[in-house]
């Protein structure tokens, strides 16, 4: 298992001859990589101000990019697919292939002009843009990505991503020679770089080889400059869904891996083991604490910009390009921030929210987006009575974003890595709502971005805020009505009732049919208007029934764990039957030699596996004993009395079970059946887990058997009641006949 340490940034002490001079690398194509490098730049300036050198770089403008075959191919492809008659036929033909359908030529030209103008205005920056400065076709590639993202063309984005390894190969020589020359040139004038810090995953093999060969050259040269390594930061959450980043890493050679220090927010040993089952050779692997994330710009974590406790206070906001805003206590605020490529979706949400009871609706970046600003202006002219409620904003700095977001009752964002990390770093008022925009609905109840790492980013945020009792969910223009009804019902149920666990209510409400949510909301509103103290009887009964069902599931899983532990205990005793247990366990309480191992013996051996006393035990014993410890720890969660509800016990059990499942994959077939049984019980209680069922369980068939109306919690309102745990158990046993 990979060793993961907790660290935000590994500082390397230098001798007095040199100051810290990092080579910062980001890339265009979405705003996350550049925001991350800006955050790291601020972090270094704050923590190492006296010994830091951050060089300025002149952007390579579009008009100075040389001709290349790849540039020509992209431009010709865009032109052909935009041609009258022929273009439409070509797009339809390409759509059914592995090749991406390229955007309209007009959109590409506008995006190229936008990128070029932005770089021209910057004049100087503290980082090198891998796409715009180094790749010959970088401007065209960034423009294609940005336009596809703006129109939520996730299928075409996924096609582009599948060609990443080919792009890395095609650009290897350019990247290798660019960075090797840059590093050598700085060393020769005695102003060497002391490290490389990258927030992007393009051309990592070439970058690693350039650093490795530079270090060899440096030693031979006798210049005395420090050798360097690469700090590689992940701008998406390091989950099993982050295949875009880990695919680049798994293809590296041992020598290339040795150049890298890997950083990810909450990066776990289990995730590293999943992608590197035979081990890896990185210089270091670090888990970044969410609250101390150098990629997040400092304004998101500074107390003076945190308004999460000011919902009932007068609040002054200083926003770029605007007069100071004064928000009154209790004023209801919504903010929309859909990233660097915001478009029609922003307008759709705005039109919906104007019919809700928000006092002000702020739209980040609207004034910098000509399409959006024109549409908003036309909308408020048509709905002039709402003009004072709509506040289009320029692009804002981190302090202004944080001040407004933490005071907002509703925040609508995208699921990009940096957006999620910013939310993880900020504080949230319990009554705040965070909704993550999704454009495509895959089926009736599930939303997906179409990009696995963005889906994983969103799941991490939902999971974290759920634990804090904050409502966070995936949304779309078609689903936001349902979600805001759930939010209002949540607030009314928990208002003045601290004994009610908000996270439980969030989970239970999300399982109800929309019509039932609406009915409950009307009933609770009527009681609230009459100052009635109690909840409607049906709603109270439903919440009690949910907790009763959670207890049934917890009891069934507990019984299954008892069987697993007993089987493992027998198996472990057999593995040591030829060994004198008295000599193995000299402190055993029995006066006679023990005939079997009890749980205390097993846990003692596992916890002291390096002890000389146990060196002769077979390797298979320790792998089985570790499985025993995992099951024992899982059962401890279900029996933990500090959790105030059975739902909370099941939730924490699920979280730990998912982390432990990788280590349980080597068990015997009989025990694996028990593991799968627990998994299917969890799927029945947490339906979203169906996406994580392994294929060999034939999960679609099994889930159809499990999810009958009589066992669906929503079925409670059709006269059905949840069956007893023994019936659930029998159904599960039958479901395993084919597996």
CATH number where 282 lies: 3.40.50
Evaluate whether 474 touches 453 at the Cβ level (below 8 Å): no
Non-local (6+) Cβ contacts of 578 within 8 A are none
- Residues 313 and 278 grouped into a single domain: no
pLDDT value, residue 591: 45
Alpha-carbon gap, residue 494 to 538, rounded angstroms = 16
Q: Give the chain's domain count.
A: 3
Closest CA to 196 of 234, 235, 231, 172: 231
User: What's the distance, Cα to Cα, between the start and end of the chain in Å?
Assistant: 29
Q: Which long-range contacts (CB under 8 A, 24 or more apart) does 368-371 make?
A: 368/394, 368/395, 369/342, 369/343, 371/343
pLDDT value, residue 643: 76
Domain coverage including residue 46? 5-57+125-136+171-295
Q: Phi/psi of residue 433, each to 5°?
A: -125, 130
pLDDT value, residue 495: 86
Give a yes or no: residue 236 inside a domain: yes
pLDDT value, residue 719: 37
pLDDT value, residue 485: 96
Alpha-carbon gap, residue 372 to 392, rounded angstroms = 9
pLDDT value, residue 190: 94
Closest CA to 231 of 27, 22, 419: 22
- Residues 253 and 390 grouped into a single domain: no
- Residues 574 and 708 grouped into a single domain: yes
- Residues 376 and 264 grouped into a single domain: no
pLDDT value, residue 423: 97
- Residues 258 and 319 grouped into a single domain: no
Give a yes or no: residue 200 inside a domain: yes
- Residues 289 and 306 grouped into a single domain: no
Evaluate whether 363 touches 372 at the Cβ level (below 8 Å): yes
Give a yes or no: residue 149 inside a domain: no
The tokens describing 162, both together, are: 């599948």
β-sheet bridge partners, residue 549: none
Alpha-carbon gap, residue 134 to 128, rounded angstroms = 8
| Spans in the chain with pLDDT lower than 50 | 442-444, 589-593, 698-701, 708-712, 714, 717-739
Please say which residue of 453, 478, 503 terminates a domain: 478
- Residues 283 and 312 grouped into a single domain: no
pLDDT value, residue 23: 98
The tokens describing 616, both together, are: 């002769």
Burial class (CB in 10 A: 0-12, 13-18, 19+), 404: buried
The tokens describing 476, both together, are: 């779309």
Beta carbons within 10 angstroms of residue 380's beta carbon: 18
Indicate left, alpha or beta for 190 from its phi (over 0: left) and psi (-120 to 50: alpha).
Answer: left
Give a yes or no: residue 423 inside a domain: yes
CA atoms within 13 A on the CB side of 644: 7
Q: What is the pTM of this model?
A: 0.86
Closest CA to 459 of 444, 229, 467: 467
415, 419, 423, 425: CA torsion to nearest 10 = 130
Please say which residue of 266, 295, 324 terminates a domain: 295
Give a yes or no: residue 165 inside a domain: no
Evaluate whether 214 touches 223 at the Cβ level (below 8 Å): no
- Residues 350 and 269 grouped into a single domain: no
Please say which residue of 273, 295, 317 terminates a domain: 295
- Residues 313 and 267 grouped into a single domain: no
- Residues 183 and 278 grouped into a single domain: yes
Burial class (CB in 10 A: 0-12, 13-18, 19+), 624: buried
pLDDT value, residue 579: 66
Helix, strand, or coil (residue 616): coil
- Residues 225 and 321 grouped into a single domain: no
Give a yes or no: residue 521 inside a domain: no
- Residues 335 and 437 grouped into a single domain: yes
Give a yes or no: residue 339 inside a domain: yes
Helix, strand, or coil (residue 79): helix
In the chain, the percentage of residues whose pLDDT exceeds 90 is 59
Beta carbons within 10 angstroms of residue 497's beta carbon: 13
Q: At what angle do helices 69-81 and 86-95 cross, to 10 degrees?
A: 110
Alpha-carbon gap, residue 303 to 606, rounded angstroms = 44
pLDDT value, residue 341: 58
Non-local (6+) Cβ contacts of 290 within 8 A are 265, 266, 421, 424, 425, 464
- How distant is the alpha carbon of residue 332 from its chain centre? 28
Give a yes or no: residue 257 inside a domain: yes
Closest CA to 617 of 590, 585, 640, 657: 585
pLDDT value, residue 576: 75
The tokens describing 571, both together, are: 């198996």
């Amino acid at each position: 298992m990979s060793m993961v340490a907790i660290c935000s940034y590994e500082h390397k002490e230098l001798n007095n001859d040199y100051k810290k001079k990092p080579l910062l690398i980001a890339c265009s194509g979405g705003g996350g990589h550049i925001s991350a490098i800006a955050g790291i730049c601020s972090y270094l300036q704050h923590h190492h101000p006296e010994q830091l050198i951050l060089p300025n770089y002149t952007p390579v403008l579009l008009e100075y990019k040389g001709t290349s075959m790849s540039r020509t191919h992209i431009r010709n492809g865009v032109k052909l697919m935009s041609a009258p008659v022929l273009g439409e036929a070509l797009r339809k033909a390409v759509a059914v292939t592995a090749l991406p359908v390229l955007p309209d030529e007009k959109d590409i030209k506008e995006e190229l002009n936008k990128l070029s103008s932005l770089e021209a205005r910057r004049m100087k920056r503290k980082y090198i843009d891998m796409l715009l400065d180094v790749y010959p076709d970088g401007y065209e590639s960034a423009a294609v990505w940005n336009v596809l993202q703006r129109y939520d063309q996730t299928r075409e984005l996924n096609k582009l991503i599948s060609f990443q390894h080919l792009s890395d190969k095609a650009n290897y020589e350019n990247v290798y020679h660019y960075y090797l020359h840059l590093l050598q040139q700085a060393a020769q004038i005695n102003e060497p770089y002391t490290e490389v810090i990258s927030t992007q995953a393009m051309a990592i093999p070439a970058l690693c080889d350039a650093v490795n060969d530079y270090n060899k050259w440096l030693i031979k040269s006798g210049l005395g400059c420090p050798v360097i390594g690469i700090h590689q930061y992940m701008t998406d959450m390091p989950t099993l869904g982050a295949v875009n980043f880990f695919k680049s890493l798994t293809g590296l050679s041992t020598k290339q891996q040795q150049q890298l220090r890997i950083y990810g927010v909450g990066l776990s040993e289990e995730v590293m083991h999943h992608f590197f089952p035979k081990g890896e050779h990185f210089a270091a692997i670090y888990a970044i604490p969410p609250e101390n994330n150098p990629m997040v710009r400092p304004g998101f974590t500074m107390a003076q910009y945190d308004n999460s406790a000011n919902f009932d206070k007068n609040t002054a906001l200083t926003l770029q390009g605007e007069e100071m805003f004064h928000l009154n206590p209790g004023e209801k605020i919504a903010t929309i921030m859909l990233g660097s490529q915001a478009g029609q979706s922003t307008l759709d949400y705005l039109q919906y929210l104007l019919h809700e009871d928000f006092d002000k609706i702020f739209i980040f970046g609207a004034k910098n987006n000509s399409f959006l600003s024109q549409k908003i202006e036309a909308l408020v002219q048509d709905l002039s009575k709402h003009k004072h409620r709509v506040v289009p904003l320029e692009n804002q700095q981190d302090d202004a974003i944080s001040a407004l977001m933490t005071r907002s009752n509703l925040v609508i964002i995208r699921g990009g890595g940096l957006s999620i990390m910013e939310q993880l770093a900020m504080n949230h008022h319990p009554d705040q709502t965070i909704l993550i925009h999704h454009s495509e609905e895959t089926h009736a109840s599930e939303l997906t971005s179409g990009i696995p790492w963005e889906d994983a980013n969103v799941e991490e945020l939902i999971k974290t805020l759920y634990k804090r009792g904050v409502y966070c969910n995936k949304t779309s223009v078609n689903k936001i009505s349902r979600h805001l009804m759930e939010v209002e019902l949540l607030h009314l149920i928990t208002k003045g009732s601290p004994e009610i666990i908000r996270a439980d209510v969030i989970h239970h409400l999300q399982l109800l049919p929309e019509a039932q949510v609406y009915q409950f909301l009307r009933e609770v509103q009527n009681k609230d208007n009459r100052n009635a103290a109690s909840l409607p009887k049906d709603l109270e009964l439903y919440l009690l029934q949910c907790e009763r069902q959670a207890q049934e599931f917890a009891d069934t899983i507990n019984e299954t764990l008892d069987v697993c532990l007993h089987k493992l205990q027998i198996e472990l005793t057999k593995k040591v039957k030829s060994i004198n247990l008295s000599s193995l366990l000299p402190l055993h309480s029995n006066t006679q030699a023990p005939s079997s191992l009890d749980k205390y013996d097993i846990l003692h051996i596992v916890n002291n596996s390096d002890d000389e006393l146990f060196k002769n035990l077979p390797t298979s014993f320790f792998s089985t004993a570790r499985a025993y410890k995992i099951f024992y720890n899982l059962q401890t969660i279900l029996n933990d009395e500090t959790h105030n509800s059975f739902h909370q016990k099941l939730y924490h059990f699920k979280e730990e079970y998912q982390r432990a499942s990788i280590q349980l994959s080597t068990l015997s077939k009989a025990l694996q059946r028990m593991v799968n049984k627990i998994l299917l019980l969890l799927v029945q209680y947490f339906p979203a887990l169906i996406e994580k069922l392994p294929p060999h369980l034939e999960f679609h068939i099994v889930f159809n058997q499990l999810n009958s109306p009589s066992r669906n919690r929503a079925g409670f309102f059709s006269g059905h009641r949840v069956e007893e745990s023994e019936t659930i158990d029998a159904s599960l046993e039958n479901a395993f006949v084919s597996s």
